[in-house]
Structure formats: structure tokens, C-alpha cells
Structure 1
Amino acid sequence: MINLDIELLRTLVAIAKHGTFANAAEAVCRTQSAITQQMQRLESLTHKAIFTKEGRNKTLTEHGELLLRYAQQILALHDECVRTLHSADPEGIVRIGAPHDVADSIFPTVLAHVVRNLPRIKLEIQVDRSPILMEALHRGELDLTISSRFDSELAGFVIRRSPTVWLASARYVHDPSKPVPLILADEPSLYRKIALTALEQAHATWQTNYVAPNLSGIKAALHAGLGITARNIELISTDFRVLGTSEQLPPLPDVSYFLWMRRAPLHNHTRHVYDLLSQHMALNATAPLP
């Protein structure tokens, strides 16, 4: 196995860029004879003719053209590696949000990943309802947020797909002969929409027993046995149980949680955090959205 010298490849690229050995020698601050010796060394290593003489000029052979293309790719990757290793860690404050229902599940994983890989980034966190977080993102009050809401105007990617289930208190007893007693978030609410749509499509009857402005209120109503609610599995605990077809309740769709980045102007460190998370935490089946 031969090892190609990176400087020989750099000289080959310089010759192709500047047209002649003489011009390349001037560009890299070497003598023309040194450039010639380097190319002779490269031909010796590869056991291939890289240049052919046409009149007073030398042009690349077919093997030379192939080697040039690889040399350009190798140098690009090499130089990117060197820049990355020697560049300072990004530094700054990133404001990041998450909805209440993933504050104890997805969010800690995201925060830990940033802190572990970008230790000079300082995080300011906000936990709130998805609509409020998305409004803050659009106003520039947040840099990044996790949200169950889709927004075609923002750059983002799916960070988790979570099944939605019917939840009730562990002590709750469901009576399928009666209207479904619902605990709902007030508008706007994705889970409210999911619950009502599923019941409508199943031609089921329901009644709203309790409306809450936030997740804490919904959990309190569940604990009190006031009814059931549609929520993602992140909320399951020993205090709650999942209801389903045995209680004659319709199935519910999965919910996608996105990580969204606010629109420009952006600080470079915000882009660093977003790129890090998109490379390591985006679902494999989902490419980052433009």
C-alpha cells in the first residue's frame, strides 16, 4: 500500500490551477525544478505517468486527471479537518425552548448533548406550550425550540416521533356506554385537535369535563379522575394508565417533535448548535428541512 504525500498532491492541484509548472512554482514559492522533482516523485509513487508533453507544455494524462480529482477531494477534507481542529470552540448564549410534555424526556437529552460537545456555549432555557414557544421563536426571543408544530418558514428536523395514547388516572374506570369524558387543553392545542378528530371519525360521543391552560392543569384533572385525555407516551407514569380498543376508544396518530431554528439574523454559535443536533439527533429517515 503506497502513502501519497499531501504536499505532492497540493502541488499537483496548484499546477492544474495555474496552468504551468512555472506559474505553480511562483504560486507556492518554490523553484520550477523543485516542482518538477515533486511530480517525478508522485509518478514514482503511483507507478503511473501523470503528465504528457505537448510541444513545450505538459498536460495531464488520463491517470493524471483521475489523480487530480482525488487530490482535490483529499485536500478539501484535509484542510477542513485542520480548520476544525484548530478553530476555537464556538462561544455564546443560545436560547432554547421545549414544551412541557417533553421537558423531562427529550429536552434533557438535547441539553446534555450540547453541553458535552460545545462546552463554551451557555444555554438559556424556556419551558412552555408549543404555540407560545413558536411565537417567541418568530419574534427572535428564542434561537431554537422543540415543538410539535410544523412551520414551513423555518429550518428544522424531526427529533422524535412519539405515539399518542388515551391517558387516565390509574384508578379511573371507563364506561363505554357513556359519552367520553374529556380533559382538554385550551386552544390552540395539537392534542385537543387529535382527540376531537379521532372521536369524530369514530362517530363517538363525548363531553368536555375540564379545560386546562397548561399541562400541570391537565395532570391535576387526570389525578382527580375527571376524565381522559389524548397525550404522547412521554407523559406515562405509574399514576396514569393507557386506555385503548378494550375501552372502545379510537386509535390516535403519532406526533412528530421538531427542533426549529429561528430565521436570520443568526449568530454563528446558534448555527453550530443546530448543526450539531441535526447531525447527531435527527431521525435517520428524516433529512433536515430547508
Structure 2
Amino acid sequence: MNLISLDIRMLRSLVSVVDSGSITETARRLGRTQPAITLQLKRLEELAGKPLFSHEGRRMALTSDGDTVLTYAKSILRLHDELLSQLAAPSIEGHVVLGTPDLYAAFLLPSILSVFRRAFPGIQVELNCSLSTPLVNLVKRGEVDVALVTRMNDFTGGQVVGQEQLVWMVGERSTAHQERQVPLALLPPGNIYRDHAIAKLEEVHRRWRVACQSESVGGLQAAVFSGMAVTVLGRSALVPTMRELSSEEGFPPLPKVDLLLYRSHRAASKAAQALHDYLAHYLSLDTELQPVPPHPADKAGDVL
């Protein structure tokens, strides 16, 4: 039996190409040339003995075998990077303030932060839960070191580390979605979740009213659980006793929103850098397998 050995760099290139949808972007992220990335992917296919990509026009799509390799590649990279973190962790200590909306604090970050705490026991993470716009301002003032937020229309800078699919949600036994004037549970004005909800209903000429306004996901969920309203949240927040509404029920598909990661220019400590890099890596591993379109303002992850 001939045993093959997979270069960790091949696996990292595969994950990055699927994440970014671009060999060019992968080369930029990994600091290599485009031909080098292409060669690594070709070599990985040769070792696998099966095609990993199918070409649909200019777009590269994973084959079923490619999906299998991607799943294992993510697991291998996760263990590989955790080992490196464990070896480096004892030398890093400090205090870091992490800002994020409570939606992500509750549904996206717990598993990642749990692994981070085990890898870096000397780093104390203080969590600051707030809406995205005030958090970005806090990062600019240096009051928050690292922030994971939803990109709003007027945001500049930041690093795109993933996307969240927005969905309509209603209580399992609720009839709120059947009312002639749809009762909505929304975040305050200026939030992109709210903007998309209202815009989509107006596109299909459905009447609506605000039945609940809350700065926290808990308040919106309470309105949905009680049966008094329909809300729009990221799919990760869909929990038992809630269900997703479809276009057949009069609720048109919603877009995805970008997740941005910021680091304050004042957060120069190794602890802040470690948390920023950890979040960037693990969130990008869980990104949906769709290319993330570039934004003209996305030139750096730091806030100057």
C-alpha cells in the first residue's frame, strides 16, 4: 500500500480558494504567486486521484470529491493551527476587549472562543455586546480592541471574514405572518437587517408595521416566541420554536450580509493580535462556499 503525504499548504490553498472564490485573492492572502497556487491545487488533485473542481464558465465549483476533501482539509487545518497555538500560547498574556452584537456573541462565537481560551489561557477576553455602528466607533477610539460586526452601508475598512444569510422568522404556531399588515420585530433605524426587511416587503407591496423595536436579539426573539411579530435575523439564530418563512408565504428571499472584523490601531499587543488572527482564521473556515464580493473600502483590517 502506497501512502501519500499531503502538504499542509495545499490544503490551506484549497480552503482559501473555496472561501474567496478566486486564485488571485488566495495568492494575495497567502503571499504566493498565482501559478504557485494553481500548481498546489493540481498537485492535490493528482494525489487525490480524482478531480476536485469542475469549471462552470469562469467559476470553479467543487465536485463531490472536492467537498469531501474540503471537509477533511478544514478539520486538519483546525487541528494543525490549534497545535501551533498551544505551543505558542504560554508566552502570550494580556487583556483584550472584543466587541460584537449579541447575535454573534450567542450564536457564532461561543465554540471559537472556547477553543481560544484553551489555546491561550493567559489571555483575558472581555466581551462588549453592542450594535455594529457604535462598536466600530469604539474601535476607532481605541475603547474596543477587536470587533466582529455586520457591515453597514457607510462602513469603511475592516476585513470580510464571512457572510450571514438573512431569513424571515416566525413562531412555529404563530399566525403573525398572515396578517394583512405584517407586524415586524426590528432592530433600531440605521441597521441593515431592518432596512432589508422593510425594502423587501415594499418590493412586493405588502403592508407592514413595527410591533417591536429592540437593540438586542433577545427582544426580537421574545416578540417572535410570543406570536406577536415576524423578524429578520441571520439563519444562525433560527432556534427551536421558530421557523423560516418562504417566498410561497409572501416573504421574498433576503440577501446575505458581510461579517467584518476590525482591529484598533491602538491594539498593538500580542494578545490582541492573537485574538484577531484566531477569529479571522476560524470564521473564514466556516464561510459559506460562495465568493465574497470585494468592497472598494476593504483595504485593511485595522481601523486608523
TM-score, normalization by structure 1:
0.62
Q: Which residue does the alignment assign to 1:201?
A: 203
How do 1:7-22 residues align onto structure 2 when only pairs under 5 Å count? none
Q: Give the deviation of 1:86 after TM superposition.
A: 8.4
Cα offsets for 1:136-185 (capped at 9, x unmatched): 2222111111111253234x231x32211111111112565712221212
How do 1:151-190 residues align onto structure 2 when only pairs under 5 Å count? 151-154=155-158, 156-158=159-161, 160-174=162-176, 176=178, 178-190=180-192
Give the counterpart of 2:254 among 227, 246, 252. Answer: 252
Q: Which residue does the alignment assign to 1:141?
A: 143
Relative contact order, CA 8 A, sep 6+: which one is greater?
A: 2
The aligned amino acid for 2:98 is: I
Tell me, yes or no, if structure 1 residue 222 matches structure 2 residue 191.
no
Aligned identity (percent) is 25
Of the structure 1 ranges 124-133 and 263-272, higher mean CA displacement relative to structure 2 is found in: 263-272
Rounded Cα–Cα distance in structure 2 between residues aligned with 1:87 and 1:214 = 34
Rounded Cα–Cα distance in structure 1 between residues aligned with 2:103 and 2:267 = 29
Q: Which residue does the alignment assign to 1:49?
A: none
CA pair 167-265 structure 1, distance change in 2 beyond 3 A: closer
Rounded Cα–Cα distance in structure 2 between residues aligned with 1:225 and 1:87 = 47
Q: Which residue does the alignment assign to 1:81?
A: none
Rounded Cα–Cα distance in structure 2 between residues aligned with 1:126 and 1:247 = 37
The aligned amino acid for 1:226 is: M
Q: Check whether the contact 2:177–2:230 (CA below 8 A) recurs between aligned residues.
A: no
Larger radius of gyration: 1
Root mean square deviation, CA, Å: 2.8
Q: Which residue does the alignment assign to 2:76?
A: none
SS of alignment partner, residue 91 of structure 2: coil
The aligned amino acid for 2:144 is: L
Cα offsets for 1:29-66 (capped at 9, x unmatched): xxxxxxxxxxxxxxxxxxxxxxxxxxxxxxxxxxxxxx
Q: Check whether the contact 1:157–1:260 (CA below 8 A) recurs between aligned residues.
A: no
Q: Which residue does the alignment assign to 1:270?
A: 272
CA pair 281-218 structure 1, distance change in 2 beyond 3 A: closer
Structure 1, gaps ≥5 residues long: 1-83
Q: Which residue does the alignment assign to 2:5?
A: none
Cα offsets for 1:116-136 (capped at 9, x unmatched): 332221111122222232222
Rounded Cα–Cα distance in structure 2 between residues aligned with 1:281 and 1:240 = 25
Q: Give the deviation of 1:240 after TM superposition.
A: 1.1
Rounded Cα–Cα distance in structure 2 between residues aligned with 1:108 and 1:265 = 22
Q: Give the deviation of 1:211 after TM superposition.
A: 2.2
Tell me, yes or no, if structure 1 residue 242 matches structure 2 residue 244.
yes
Q: Which residue does the alignment assign to 1:109?
A: 111
Q: Check whether the contact 1:99–1:127 (CA below 8 A) recurs between aligned residues.
A: yes
CA pair 241-121 structure 1, distance change in 2 beyond 3 A: same
Give the counterpart of 2:99 among 97, 114, 127. Answer: 97
CA pair 193-175 structure 1, distance change in 2 beyond 3 A: closer
Q: Give the deviation of 1:265 after TM superposition.
A: 5.4
Rounded Cα–Cα distance in structure 1 between residues aligned with 2:276 and 2:177 = 47
The aligned amino acid for 2:170 is: A
Rounded Cα–Cα distance in structure 1 between residues aligned with 2:256 and 2:192 = 12
Q: Check whether the contact 1:134–1:145 (CA below 8 A) recurs between aligned residues.
A: yes
Query: How many matched pairs?
Result: 205
CA pair 108-138 structure 1, distance change in 2 beyond 3 A: same
